Amino acid sequence: MSAQEQELFALAKEARESAYAPYSDFKVGAALLGESGTIYLGCNVENASFGLTVCAERVALFKAVSEGERVFKAIAIYAGSKSVPPCGACLQVMAEFGDLDILLFDSKGSYVKWRISELLPQAFRLND
């Protein structure tokens, strides 16, 4: 694991601590690396109206976009004991910004690396 991947893992674990998940107790943290080198953190935020829940990946991405970042290299995702891939909504939103690396970590620090195009090979594009 590279030093940068280790840093993303540590920051995703840190972000998970801020998750608001009173209904499922399923806490997720994400660390998104922008092309500028800035790392944006996100955690999932649940709502009693479940459809309004926002995943950690989208929180990190929306934070980055709101701060002017538009190109991304990688996102690390940490959900606790086992690695969990992003949901379809998160994959579609991330695909809008390119085919970045997705690093799925477990509690032992082991990880699997995917590209968005591998997990969502037919992403919707308005100009397709």
> Is 43 annotated in some ligand binding site?
no
Tokens of 89: 């909504």
Q: How many residues does the chain have?
A: 128
Out of 5, 46, 57, 69, the active site residue is 57
Closest CA to 111 of 76, 71, 63: 76
The number of beta carbons lying within 10 Å of the beta carbon of residue 9 is: 22
Is residue 57 flagged as an active site residue?
A: yes
> Is 55 annotated in some ligand binding site?
yes
Detail the residues annotated as belonging to a binding site for Zn(2+). Answer: 55, 87, 90
Detail the residues annotated as belonging to a binding site. Answer: 55, 87, 90
The set of catalytic residues is: 57
